Amino acid sequence: MTSLAGEHLTGLKNAIHAPDIDKQAAQPAVRAELSQLSQVLVRYHDQIATGFGVPHTRDHGVRDAAHRASALIDHAAQILGPRPTTEAPESVLAEKIRCVSIALGCGLDLLASHTPTTLTRPASPDAPTIAATDTARALLHQLSEHVATAAHLAIHTGSTSRDASRPLLTAAVLSRVFGTDERPSINPVVLHHIPERIPPAVGENITQALTGISASIQRLNNPDTPGSITTWRYLARAAAVICDLNSKTILHLTRRMDELNEDHHISHLKQINQSIRKTSGRWKAITRRWDTYDSFGHPAAGLATDASDLIIRLGRLVHTDPAWTPGPRASYRVKSPEELAATTTAAARVATVTLRAFEACNIIAANHRTAINDLAVIGVLQRQQERPTFSPRVPAFIRQLLGLYESAETQGIETVTALGRAIQGLASNTPDDADEARLVMRRAASGSEINPAALANTAFPVPVEECLAKTERNIQRASSSAEAPKFHRSSTP
């Protein structure tokens, strides 16, 4: 939550430099929100000063500094006036301040939940860590930025309440000084988030390409904007292009293994080429089916852009043109097998990039239901206009399209599994690529498993039913062998 509060704080810092900040900050709602933020900061410093109610050791003045800063911030809150009484902020600047207050308040509640509030409730195992001096020092260091920002905003609130800036600045300096330590501060855990787009750059190496592809895959799996029918039409065509580019790459790797006399890898790569052709055929069938429907606007910029980034990176991986882009005038000259992968280790790295691209296609196939549902609604409405009926049915072409997507996903999982096994064989000297391939294969397997119980069962060396049957046989055998010794003397110490 402190990380989230830091993100909101960045927006608040930018607002301070706005040309009309004096006009914005002079509103009563802003002063009320600043008072509320100050009270949250007072609560933080009070908890640090008391060690969150957990017995603690001497801290060389850290908690004393938190107590003194708390008194200063509380004095500033009294100058700023009463807290807000409205549920919704009354201005944009007031909303930004409230976002910081809420994020900080939630973070404080989470920390306080680990400490006992009654005599009968024990502290959590993490309570000593929260009450430690290093934690108190790190919290003071982070809070000093929030206090300083509140002070700079208070300067612009008007002649009456601008006096609150002085105690706030004093408290910020106090927290900053005692929050500084020679040892590195405690970094908050980065929460799961959608990565920013990494635009393709000319001259990317394999590592940069893999990083960009990973970002695009995560963005495809967590779209920030809803897709449309045109979006999924575009993504289907993009998946077909990705399969064709991957086919070129794997074919070149097969030729390179022949040049390196790695015969035991050639047969696996040839089987993968056959599987890729089947996957490509599934996506081309989906594309042809989408082309029979009318267009509905433009594709969503986020999803279409991420798919385009994948195509560009894969095309530049296999083609000689470092600035290759898809289009009628795109270069068809491909790299030589030696240039694509000089060694078996390099081949494993290139194959890993291809594997992640196939994972992106599987994600597109698995997340198709929104567009199909929209298309089904449109189809039903059109039929209702032509032939009104009280029992509308899902058009047959919707079921056919759904079957095509499910077939593409199933075939894509087979391709990912086969390619992942081949990469594990190629990556004998690069455990990172082998681990990456294993992770992608597990994600594909978990995505294809419908029954969670059956998925959990596959994690055992043998099925659970067999384990239970074997145990029952052992019990019956033991009960029928009364003369058998109950213990066996080990031959080893």
How many DSSP H helices and E strands does the chain contain?
19, 0
Per DSSP, the three-state class of 233 is helix
Q: 156-186: b or e for each residue (b if 16 or more CB lie within 10 Å)?
A: bbeeebbebbbbbbbbbbbbbebbeeeeebe
Q: For residue 469, what pLDDT is reported? A: 57
Q: For residue 226, what pLDDT is reported? A: 58
DSSP, residue by residue, 387-422: S--SS----HHHHHHHHHHHHHHHHHHHHHHHHHHH
Q: For residue 487, what pLDDT is reported? A: 37
Q: For residue 284, what pLDDT is reported? A: 94
Q: For residue 411, what pLDDT is reported? A: 93
How far apart are the C-alpha atoms of 436 and 419, rounded to whole Å?
Answer: 12
Show the tokens assigned to 203: 């001259």
Which residues make beta-bridge pairs with 334? 319
How far apart are the C-alpha atoms of 434 and 100, rounded to whole Å?
Answer: 43
Q: For residue 415, what pLDDT is reported? A: 93
Q: For residue 126, what pLDDT is reported? A: 67
How far apart are the C-alpha atoms of 73 and 79, rounded to whole Å?
Answer: 10
How far apart are the C-alpha atoms of 296 and 298, rounded to whole Å?
Answer: 7
How far apart are the C-alpha atoms of 473 and 273, rounded to whole Å?
Answer: 47
Contact 127, 24 (CB under 8 A): no
Q: For residue 279, what pLDDT is reported? A: 94
Nearest to 177 by CA among 150, 147, 137: 137
How far apart are the C-alpha atoms of 443 and 449, rounded to whole Å?
Answer: 10
Q: For residue 407, what pLDDT is reported? A: 92
Does an H or E element contain 13, and which? Answer: helix 2-16
Nearest 10 degrees: Cα torsion 436, 244, 307, 413: -50
How far apart are the C-alpha atoms of 51 and 73, rounded to whole Å?
Answer: 19
According to DSSP, residue 424 is labeled H
How far apart are the C-alpha atoms of 163 and 43, rounded to whole Å?
Answer: 21
Question: How far is CA 29 from each of CA 7, 89, 100, rounded to the nearest angstrom?
Answer: 22, 7, 15
Tens digits of pLDDT across the chain (493 residues): 666 777 777 777 787 778 888 888 778 888 888 888 888 888 888 888 877 777 655 555 777 788 888 888 888 888 888 887 777 777 888 888 888 888 888 877 777 777 665 555 666 766 777 777 777 777 888 888 888 888 888 888 876 777 888 888 888 887 777 666 544 444 544 455 678 889 999 888 888 888 888 888 888 877 666 566 788 888 999 999 999 999 999 999 999 999 998 888 888 888 898 999 999 999 999 999 888 877 666 676 778 899 999 999 999 989 999 889 988 888 888 889 898 888 888 899 899 989 999 998 998 888 887 778 777 777 777 776 777 665 667 778 888 888 999 999 999 999 999 999 989 888 877 788 888 888 888 888 876 544 444 434 444 444 545 554 554 555 455 445 444 444 343 333 3
Q: For residue 465, what pLDDT is reported? A: 54
Counting Cβ atoms within 10 Å, is residue 333 exposed (0-12), middle (13-18) or buried (19+)? exposed
Q: pTM to 2 decimals?
A: 0.54
Handedness of CA 289, 294, 295, 300 (dihedral sign): negative
Nearest to 245 by CA among 279, 214, 291: 279
Type of residue at 136: A
Q: For residue 184, what pLDDT is reported? A: 45
